[in-house]
Amino acid sequence: MTVHPISRRLGPDTLASVPAAVARPRYDRGGLDVGVVHIGLGAFHRAHQAIYTDNALNAAPGPWGICGVSLRTPDVRDALAPQAGLYAAAVRDEDGERLRVVGSVLQTLVAPESPAAVLARLADPRVRVVTATVTEKGYCHNPATGEIDDRNPDIRRDLANPTQPRTLPGFLVEALRRRRAAGTPPFTVLSCDNLPTNGEVTARILRAYAALLEPDLDHWIEDRVACPSSMVDRIVPATTADDRARIAAALGVEDAAPVVTEPFSQWVFEDRFPTGRPAWEAFGAEPVADVRPYEAMKLRLLNASHSCIAYLGYLAGYQTVAETVADKAFERFVAAMMDDEITPSLRMPAGTDLTGYKAALLARFANPALRHRTWQIAMDGSQKLPQRLLETIRERLALGLSFDRLALGVAGWMRYVRGVDETGAPIDVRDPLAERLRRLAEDAGPVAGRLAPALLSVREVFGDDLPANEAFVAAVTSALDGLFDRGAWYCVERLG
């Protein structure tokens, strides 16, 4: 029997034909205003914040439609625009897959194509919240210090061409400048990226950029612009061709932009929104006075474990997180690292069930229905290591405590960014500093005593303190030597 491909696209005109078992928007999308601009319209946003907003609109329609902005490529816009922003979210676990159609994204813009359109939307008085998931590198800052990198060529270009920006700081500050000139109240900026105190980092970067752009604009931003911190948590692997085919078969129409995710979802944010926000808390989000303990919990337990799994698992030959932790040596290693080296650094509010949280993490990592690739998580490590691993290491160094497993994670990154795996095959290293790291690694060669100090010289990652700390250098060099000598699996098994 010949199977003919589905030719109809998901959209307002085909939504009624989607099976009744698939949840869909219950509000009139045509009657919504855009009240939220989201910068970084990738899979994570569409599997997380856009769903919280969709839930809020289902309960009480309001002026909270989303305009999604891509700072780089038109791919997501090209997929979503013919569908009027509709897409399917597939929640997967060992019990199967549950689908819903999400309708909160009303508009999609591509910044490189029309910076003027993005600035006009950001300056629109109806926009009251701007959220962002642009990854750590999108903040154009020094990860080791949290300060803006005023030598970044895109920052320099934006300052010279403020009406045609390319960067997150460039767009936000120019839009805020226009709102001030028009007497329009500023929007709230809510970072949803994996940065410690991401709201404070965002505010500091906006002020620093504004000070370079226009006198006194930084003071107005400091006085008037709210930048609450937030913590987001949901595992969202890259959508594959098989995912798209399976979801299309279930919907009965093509969807060019589905997302696949896990059942678990968490969003904790500081509740500082002077001009209002959607009622996200009615659907599980947690408004708090101080998000820092929750940020530290997630960054140091989930994200640090993910990075160690990514580098060491990839080197050991595993393609996905689930395959990696199915190996009992890796499962024991991650559990011991969380219990012995990370948990003592956390200061959580009374009643927080860290034991349950860690057990849930291991179960989430092992979810066989999510093919979360180690290679995907390994991207942009130079931007991730400072907050995921190095801050915990600094605290343990100050207390004279061991950090052998965390050191192995750092050494795993060093071994990985050489660009050659344990079988001699090339690794496609994706990192803003990839070329610089490759040159340092080539000059040093596969010798731990040369490679470790070469990579530790990258001050944007390690700062000035860690390369000068004998205990840190010795631990990382020893771990890297073990990786070259015996391989990742042996080193993990020994510490598990």
- Give the integer Cα–Cα distance in Å for 160 and 146: 23
Mean pLDDT of all residues in 150-166: 96
- Give the integer Cα–Cα distance in Å for 64 and 25: 14
Confidence at residue 6, expressed as pLDDT on a 0 to 100 scale: 58
Confidence at residue 268, expressed as pLDDT on a 0 to 100 scale: 97
Residue 2 above 50 pLDDT? no
Residue 94 above 90 pLDDT? no
Which among 423, 419, 448 has a CA at the least distance from the CA of 436?
419
* Per-residue pLDDT tens digits for 189-221: 999 999 999 999 999 999 999 999 999 999 999
Mean pLDDT of all residues in 449-461: 97
Confidence at residue 3, expressed as pLDDT on a 0 to 100 scale: 40
More confident residue, 7 or 307: 307
Q: What is the pTM of this model?
A: 0.90
Q: Could you tell me which residues are beta bridge partners of residue 429?
A: none
Domain boundaries, the chain: 15-288, 292-495
Q: What architecture is domain 15-288?
A: 3-Layer(aba) Sandwich (3.40)
* Per-residue pLDDT tens digits for 82-92: 999 999 999 99
Residue 404 above 50 pLDDT? yes
Confidence at residue 1, expressed as pLDDT on a 0 to 100 scale: 32
**CATH code of the domain occupying 292-495:** 1.10.1040.10
* Per-residue pLDDT tens digits for 12-67: 999 999 999 999 999 999 999 999 999 999 999 999 999 999 999 999 989 999 99
Q: Cβ distance 140 to 149 under 8 Å?
A: yes
Mean pLDDT of all residues in 442-467: 96
Q: What is the mean pLDDT of the chain?
A: 96
